[in-house]
Amino acid sequence: MPGIEQSAGLAFRAIPELAWLADGENVGSERHRALIAQGACFVAVDDRDRPIGFLSAAAEGDALHIWELDVHLDWQGRGIGRALLEKGIERGRSLGFAAVTLTTFRDVEWNAPFYRKAGFRILNADKIDHRLATLLGEEASHGMPSERRCAMRLEFD
């Protein structure tokens, strides 16, 4: 999974002020194993059963929180990310969560605009709970431009 994440991150080279993310640190294998053990992770494979994308999520309060959604750069634009997201949403609903949450870039095409198409909404500052505010703060402390980041939530009916 770290290799897929690294490849997916190369797309940030197309955005000069975020290009540094293409060479950033990836989630470690141990963290991936821990998320997989919680049962809300999905992997997309090619016709040779090789991983080409994944979604990692975990229970966080009343929500299933998406920690990572990546598709190998060579496989992007084929609906794989959308299919993984739909599986994550389906899992959150089936487990009885109130919502699915995530943090992302508000102005990067394959980030907030992608999630909006799936029904997520950007949370205004007064609607961001302590958990999501803490995550955004941690991201900022690691160099993420806070003015470009947002928290999103998809409520279940």
Name all domains of the chain by residue range, CATH numbers in brackets: 2-155 (3.40.630.30)
pLDDT at 84: 96
Res. 28: pLDDT tops 70: no
Report how far residue 62's alpha carbon sits from residue 13's, in angstroms, rounded to the nearest whole number. Answer: 35
**Average pLDDT, whole number, for the chain?**
89
Res 145: pLDDT: 87
Tell me: pLDDT of 29 over 80.
Answer: no
Measured between alpha carbons, how far is 135 from 17 in angstroms, rounded to an integer?
Answer: 22
**From CA 98, how far away is CA 49, in angstroms rounded?**
33
pLDDT at res. 36: 76
Residue with tokens 């919680």: 38
State residue 14's pLDDT score. 86
pLDDT of 93 reads 95
Q: What is the pLDDT of residue 85?
A: 97
Q: Which of 17-31, 57-71, 93-107, 117-131 has the lowest mean pLDDT?
A: 17-31
pLDDT of residue 154: 97
At residue 152, does pLDDT exceed 70? Answer: yes
Cα–Cα distances (Å) from 124 to 65, 80, 133, 150, in that order, read: 18, 29, 11, 9
Q: Which strand ranges, in their side-by-side order, compose the sheet holding 149-155? A: 41-45, 51-60, 63-71, 99-105, 149-155, 121-122
pLDDT band for position 115 (cuts 50, 70, 90): very high
Rounded distance between C-alpha atoms, residue 67 and residue 115, angstroms? 14
